[in-house]
Structure formats: structure tokens, C-alpha cells
Structure 1
Amino acid sequence: MAGQDRELTLRFLAEPADVNFGGKVHGGAVMKWIDLAAYATAAGWSGKYCITAYAGGIRFVKPIHVGNIVEVTGKIIYTGATSMHVAIDVQAGDPKNAERQLTTHCIVIMVAVDDEGKPTPVPEWIPEAEEDIRLRDSALRLMDMRKRIGAEMEAHVKPTID
């Protein structure tokens, strides 16, 4: 039911097809898993089809090895009128023990859309716990930073003519 579950974890085994030439899981494979978890989290929260509007701040902290159990956790940390900010943590480790280490972290913004592909309202998430308030406030600061970066990037998109 929409507006109920704000967190989910996808769990699977890193396969040989995911490996790059260096013998570690390819960053592109990790980014695909991140997008899948962000979609599942946002669709679960909103009860609607969602599209990726932004993925940023991706930090590859440690490599993932073939045969590792991979856990990709998505958590809603802010909701706008039609958008949801999803914090993603990727953890991995040897399947023979329960220990997992953080390998990747990022924020993904998903937008709920209707049958015509137009943005549509999502249930509001209101943080109550201190940690959740901290995460929401961080999402708001990041939103402000993205606006400033976007303004700076305009020079690259629309070069001035001398």
C-alpha cells in the first residue's frame, strides 16, 4: 500500500557476467542495481510508475567481487509533490558469513508519473526520528546545491557567443 514502506533491500549474488577487465564488478552493473532499487523503493512508496530524474553523489568505496552477496538498500529520505529522494547503500560480502561492507552510496531522485507520463502526486513522508530528520535536512541541502551546480552548468550547455 502506498505511503507505507519507505525502505527495501534487493539481495543477490554478484555473477561473472558483472565483472570488468580488472576482475571486480563493473561500476555500470552497480549503477544498474542502484537504479533498480531506487525504482522499487519509489514505486513501493508511491504506488505508481516512477522514472529516474537524477542520480548523483555516487561514491564507490570498495570493490565488489564475483561471488559476493550484494545488498542494495533504498530508503525514502524526502518527498516533494511528485518526487522522492531515495538514499541508496550498496553492501557486499562473502556469502559464508553475515558481515557486509559498504561498497557504494548515492542519492537518486525518482518522479511518479501517470499513464500519460506526467508527474503525479506522491504520499508525503514526514520524518519523526532524529536520524530521519537529519536525512531529510541533508536531502534539502543537496537539493539547494544541485540548483547552484545547475546554474553553473548553464555555461556549458549554452555557450556565450563573442
Structure 2
Amino acid sequence: MTKFKKVTASQVDISELMLPSYSNFNGKIHGGYVLSLMDRIAFACASKHSGAYCVTASVDTVDFLSPIEIGELVTMKASVNYVGNSSMVIGIRVEAENIRTGEKKHCNSSYFTMVAKDESGKSVKVPGLILTNDNDIRRFAKSTKRIKMKQNRKKEFMETDFSSEEYIDFLDKYNVKIER
């Protein structure tokens, strides 16, 4: 196994024309279809980096910024932003292009955590990451911060002593009514 790989060695780009069969009831491309494409490109990127079969462990911060129209060309770009022992964070950028006008719009950015597996389903070590520019360093550093925030969030909400009573006053400013 290669000990380290450059980010560019496993980057993947895909483009697909958006067809009417991919649309929702509002005539826009269905978010679930976009997520499916994102999962596929994350798998390709992670597998390319690790040289192993990869599974999706989590999906973080999926924000649909702009709707995708039927007939637009969607391009997704994926790269390994972070590596752990067996896990990788794959950053994905989604853009849609009106192929008649050439106008492009950023539709989504997301982060998929993928885990490399062997034939028996056990996690396997992945190559380290060679960071060659400021963008690579920024992405890796931001990933470490997101991982830490996720760990803190999980700890806070998984505590056995979590009590809804602590949040009653906090909920006053929200659009909820508590009836007991």
C-alpha cells in the first residue's frame, strides 16, 4: 500500500445532464437524486484514494443552496479533504450549468465520511494525505474542526444525564407549545 497520496491523485469529476425523470413535483431536480449522485462520487473518490471498497459512514452539512433545473448540466467535484486511520472526509462541490447560456451556479457543498473496508467487512488503513497547497491545508484543517464539533455535539446529546427540563426556558423563543 502506498503510504501517502496527493489530493490530486484521487480527485473525481462527474457531469450529468438533468432529465425530467429526475425531477420532483415542483419541476426541480429531486434532492434525493442529487444525494445519490453525491454518494456515488464520494465512493469513487474514497475508493480511488484507499484502493479499497468504501462505505458511507456519515454525511455532514448538506445545504441545498440553489435548485437544479431540468436540462441543466450538473458537475460534481470530489476530493479527499481529510484522512484518519480507515476513514476519509470527501468534500463535494455541486455546480449546475445552463448549457444554452453557459451560466453556472453553485448548488451544494457537502462532506461525506467514508470508511475503507476489506473483503470481510473490517476497516482497513488508508494512505495518508500529501498536502501541496494552501487549499489542501485549509480543507484538511477545516475538516479537523468539523470532526471536533461533531464529537462535541454527539457528546452533549448522547449524555445519559440529558434532561429536557434544562431546555424548557430556552424553548420560549421558538415556535413551540409545550403541553404536559
Match of 2:82 among 71, 78, 82: 78
TM-score by length of 2: 0.82
Pair 1:145-2:149 in alignment: yes
The change in CA–CA distance for 1:16 and 1:143 in structure 2 (over 3 A counts) is same
Q: Which runs of 5+ in 1 are unaligned?
A: none
> Which runs of structure 2 are paired with 1:48-127 in the superposition (5 Å)?
48-127=52-131
The change in CA–CA distance for 1:158 and 1:7 in structure 2 (over 3 A counts) is farther
SS, match of residue 128 in structure 2: coil
Give me the whole-angstrom Cα distance separating, in 2, the residues matched to 1:61 and 1:46.
30
Runs of 4+ in 1 over 4 A off after TM superposition: 157-160
For the aligned residues, what is the CA RMSD? Answer: 2.0
Give me the whole-angstrom Cα distance separating, in 1, the residues matched to 2:27 and 2:90.
29
Give me the whole-angstrom Cα distance separating, in 1, the residues matched to 2:97 and 2:52.
33
Q: Which runs of 5+ in 2 are unaligned?
A: 164-180
Give me the whole-angstrom Cα distance separating, in 2, the residues matched to 1:71 and 1:12.
7
Range 90-99 or range 55-64, more displaced: 90-99
Whichever of the two has the greater Rg, that structure is 2
- Give the number of equivalent residue pairs: 159
Q: CA deviation at 1:153?
A: 2.7
Give me the whole-angstrom Cα distance separating, in 2, the residues matched to 1:49 and 1:15.
30
SS, match of residue 125 in structure 1: strand
Identical columns (%): 30
Deviations along 1:45-88, whole A, 9 cap, x unmatched? 11110000110101111000011101111111111111111000
Letter of the 2:67 counterpart: P
Q: CA deviation at 1:128?
A: 2.5
Give me the whole-angstrom Cα distance separating, in 2, the residues matched to 1:29 and 1:159.
36
TM-score by length of 1: 0.91
Letter of the 1:93 counterpart: E
Q: CA deviation at 1:159?
A: 7.2
Q: CA deviation at 1:126?
A: 2.4
Give me the whole-angstrom Cα distance separating, in 1, the residues matched to 2:11 and 2:101.
24
The change in CA–CA distance for 1:125 and 1:97 in structure 2 (over 3 A counts) is farther
